[in-house]
Copies of this chain bind each other. A is one copy, B any other.
Amino acid sequence: MQFLSDNAASVHPRVWAAMQEADSPDSPYDGDSLSRRLDDEFSGLFGREVAVLWVATGTAANCLALSALVPPHGGVICHREAHIEMDECGAPGFYLHGAKLLLGDGAHAKLDPAGLAAVLDAVRPDVHQVQPHAVSITQASEYGCCYTPGELAKIDMIAGPRGLKLHMDGARFANAVAYLNRPAAEVAGPVDALSFGFVKNGAMNAEAIVFFDPTLADMVQFRRKRAGHLQSKGRFLAAQILAMLERDTWLHNAAAANAAARAIAEGAGERLLHPVEANEVFLACSAAEREALRAQGFAFYDWGLDAARFVAAWDTRADHAEALGRAIASL
């Protein structure tokens, strides 16, 4: 019973079907009929004109998006525990040519207005310090917590007047939409570019970068190519994304993962280190307790010395999640 990561989840049957259907001659790169549908599909989803590029990974999505918003001499404000800071091996430094991450705070790995303001206040407005050009937030956060539309508006109230662009790392954007139960446009809020994740949610290796200013995509398509991310058979990436959008598969999958996380957390009570909003459960538990859980067949990661992380995915079996929930309640 695997709760290590949604990274390792299986590929959704509809994604498989769509990929196989795409296996007929078409234009290479992103000139194919499927890739050319992406702008319209996402424009429909967000209720406004957007431009969309596919890439294979969330790291590429985040960094290419940021490359449109931040010059090499600039800075990106993000949470101290953001994925771009902690888990991308310095990819922002590569894609942004040395631009700097400026680290802020906030509960549950959500950058909050005070945390954002503190970063801004600490930067002297002179040439000796890197000046911020954008803010990157993660929806849902590394701890599976979501920014409400109201919280996004507060971030924007600080960032906007300073001319800061907004990027959203939406590796688990679907889980946030499912949790918040609001239209995608509200869950994205006022961002300029969104990394819309599908891989953790049933796709194989396709993510979407959504540009709310479509002209940015014109530039980023060059960056994508020069980063080696323009696949020649790009139709297979477009097919994955379109399949996920069809019949709201992305949303149903995320809802299933979230529900599984809730089942896990059901009896966890005070052990919960963070609210369970998306598909992750962070639990205070001792090494002995973790061993006990593993002895019952549950696979998961330690989270430091005194905690554990459990991640549900779209394909997590309800009975597995419930069994884990009971096991946790019985600790």
CA gap between A7 and B72 in the complex, in Å: 27
The bracket for how many chain A residues form the interface is: 35 or more
Q: Which B residue sits closest to A73, measured CB to CB? A: B222
| Chain B residues whose C-beta falls within 8 Å of the C-beta of A99 in the assembled complex | 90, 93
Which one, A128-136, A151-159, A241-249, A262-270, is touching chain B? A128-136
Asked whether, in the complex, the Cβ of A232 is within 8 Å of the Cβ of B97, the reply is no
| Chain B residues whose C-beta falls within 8 Å of the C-beta of A28 in the assembled complex | 4-5, 7-8
Q: How far is the CB of A58 from chain B (nearest CB, A)?
A: 8
Is A2 located at the chain interface by the 8 A CB criterion? yes
CA gap between A236 and B170 in the complex, in Å: 23
Q: Which B residue sits closest to A10, measured CB to CB? A: B23
Q: How far is the CB of A112 from chain B (nearest CB, A)?
A: 22
CA gap between A23 and B17 in the complex, in Å: 14
Q: How far is the CB of A34 from chain B (nearest CB, A)?
A: 13
Find A16's partner among B20, B97, B205, B223 (CB 8 Å cutoff): B20
Find A91's partner among B20, B56, B221, B227 (CB 8 Å cutoff): B227
Q: Which B residue sits closest to A232, measured CB to CB? A: B7
- Within 89-146 of A, Cβ neighbours of B (below 8 Å) are at 89-100, 127-131
Find A8's partner among B27, B75, B224 (CB 8 Å cutoff): B27
Q: How far is the CB of A148 from chain B (nearest CB, A)?
A: 28
Find A205's partner among B26, B56, B59 (CB 8 Å cutoff): B56
Q: Which B residue sits closest to A93, measured CB to CB? A: B98
CA gap between A155 and B240 in the complex, in Å: 44
Asked whether, in the complex, the Cβ of B233 is within 8 Å of the Cβ of A130, the reply is no
| Chain B residues whose C-beta falls within 8 Å of the C-beta of A93 in the assembled complex | 93, 97-100, 226
Asked whether, in the complex, the Cβ of B90 is within 8 Å of the Cβ of A98, the reply is yes
Is A86 located at the chain interface by the 8 A CB criterion? yes
Name the 8 nearest CB pairs between A and B, nearest first: A93-B98, A60-B228, A59-B228, A7-B232, A7-B28, A89-B225, A89-B226, A97-B97
Query: B-contacting residues of A (Cβ < 8 Å)?
Result: 2, 4-5, 7-8, 10-11, 16, 20, 23-29, 55-64, 71-73, 75, 86-100, 127-131, 199-200, 204-205, 219, 221-233, 236-237
